Amino acid sequence: MIKTTNKNIKKILLKKELTKEDIIILLSSDIEGRNILYRKSAEIKDKYVGRTSYYRGLIEFSNICSKNCYYCGIRRDNKFPVRYELDDETILSAVKFAFENKFASIVLQSGERNNNLFTKRIENLLKKINKLTNSQLGITLSSGEQSEEIFRSWRDAGAHRYLLRIETSNKDLYYKIHSNDDKHNFEKRLKALENLQKIGYQTGTGIMIGLPFQDYEHLSDDLLFFKNFDIDMVGMGPYIEHAETPLFRFNKMLMPAKERFNLTLKMIAILRIMMKDINIAAATALQAIDPIGREKAIKIGANIIMPNITPSENRKNYRLYENKPCIDESAEDCTNCLEARINIAGDNIGYGKRGDSKHYFNRIAL
């Protein structure tokens, strides 16, 4: 492999397309090298998506999950979280807050379930949200793998975007962090993403960075997967261990949290360079490691941020990882805090604008 030097990094950043080896060199860069990378990604962000960040009011409406992922704090077999499901009135109250505060978009997120009662409830909830807001809100769903029929019914009911994280594009690594059974099937996950794209959703996915067993080759393949799949939006965050999960027993294998943080920023920067017009989220997990982690991500390439508008009494039970920030704040506190943070990072807030993925409209126009 070519030795990583700042000269090599500058040469790579002049290319129109990055190879796997190029990406590995960028991921291996030192402090000076990554600053060169960040300057380039910030320049690309300015040119293609602008210095505006868009809000997605996050409503974690249920922590009930049928899956048993080895890394997740709300996995089915974890007995510690108090399981909850917000009623429609509470969800619509949060939607109203987002609408009245000109967020223009929300995310409905939950554990993964496939039963008819759950899927029909979401369909009816989408109709209520659109009625309440005159269909003016951008709605992202993140409720796991579903059949093509269910995805279509939710799209017809008014959902615009869907986030289905793969966590890794490498099949072997996938089965190191998931069970190998009908509930955790790698091909089924990919097929669900294909269906979402076919149906017409703005399609999003994402990964964790700094997992046990993960290396630069895995991460470079993940970025190339996003590119080859022609994804519209991505959420990537550092892996943060949770003591009540099976993966925690490998915590001594982990790189230090600060290194996971820096590697995540590199991934965001490289992705912005590779896919110039997609939406990239500044993950909340960044702030769990660095108090201004999300601002740093915005500065170098991210353009989506998700204020948590879940009732504060429920947030502590939607803890996918430890040290989750903002679990005691009200929706108003979270919003005011983020507004100041985004302005410090040099972005404006796209109040009243849905902030749809430019890549999506460019993709469907072809």
Predicted pLDDT of residue 366: 76
Q: Please give the CATH topology (third level) of the domain spanning 6-365.
A: TIM Barrel (3.20.20)
Q: Does 175 score more than 60 pLDDT?
A: yes
- Is the Cβ–Cβ distance between 155 and 195 less than 8 Å? no
Predicted pLDDT of residue 3: 59
Mean residue pLDDT across the chain: 95
Q: Which structure tokens are listed for 265?
A: 């920023």
Predicted pLDDT of residue 1: 46
Q: Where are the alpha helices (DSSP H) in 114-215?
A: 116-132, 148-156, 171-177, 186-199
Q: H or E segment at 110? A: strand 105-110
Question: What's the 3-state SS for 28-56?
Answer: CCCHHHHHHHHHHHHHHHHHHCCCEEEEC
Give the model confidence (pLDDT) of 283-321 as tens digits: 999 999 999 999 999 999 999 999 999 998 898 899 998
Edge-to-edge order in the sheet of strand 233-238:
57-62, 105-110, 138-142, 161-163, 202-209, 233-238, 279-282, 304-305, 52-55, 348-349
Alpha-carbon distance of 54 to 149, in angstroms, equals: 30
Which range (102-116, 177-191, 309-323) has the least confidence?
Answer: 309-323
Predicted pLDDT of residue 343: 87
Give the model confidence (pLDDT) of 333-364 as tens digits: 666 777 888 988 899 999 999 999 999 999 99
Predicted pLDDT of residue 267: 98
Give the model confidence (pLDDT) of 253-291 as tens digits: 999 999 999 999 999 999 999 999 999 999 999 999 999
- Is the Cβ–Cβ distance between 33 and 261 less than 8 Å? no
Rounded to the nearest 10 degrees, what angle do helices 216-229 and 20-27 cross at?
Answer: 130
Predicted pLDDT of residue 360: 98
CA distances from 129 to 123, 124, 310 (A): 10, 9, 16
pLDDT > 90 in the chain, percent:
89
Residue for token digits 């126009």? 365
Q: How many CA atoms lie less than 13 Å away from 268 in the CB half-sphere?
A: 33
Return the bridge partners of 281, or none.
235, 304
Return the bridge partners of 206, or none.
235
Domain boundaries, the chain: 6-365
What's the one-letter identity of residue 108? L
Q: Which structure tokens are listed for 139?
A: 């709605």
325 pLDDT band (50/70/90 cuts)? Answer: confident
Predicted pLDDT of residue 322: 83
Q: Which structure tokens are listed for 20?
A: 């796997």
Q: Does 118 score more than 60 pLDDT?
A: yes
- Is the Cβ–Cβ distance between 140 and 61 less than 8 Å? no
Alpha-carbon distance of 278 to 263, in angstroms, equals: 20
What is the pTM (predicted TM-score) of this model?
Answer: 0.96
45 closest CA partner among 360, 351, 348: 348
Q: Does 2 score more than 60 pLDDT?
A: no
Give the model confidence (pLDDT) of 13-66 as tens digits: 999 999 999 999 999 999 999 999 999 999 999 999 999 999 999 999 999 999
Q: Which structure tokens are listed for 251?
A: 């915590």
Residue for token digits 């009908």? 182
Predicted pLDDT of residue 340: 81
Predicted pLDDT of residue 362: 94
Alpha-carbon distance of 18 to 251, in angstroms, equals: 32
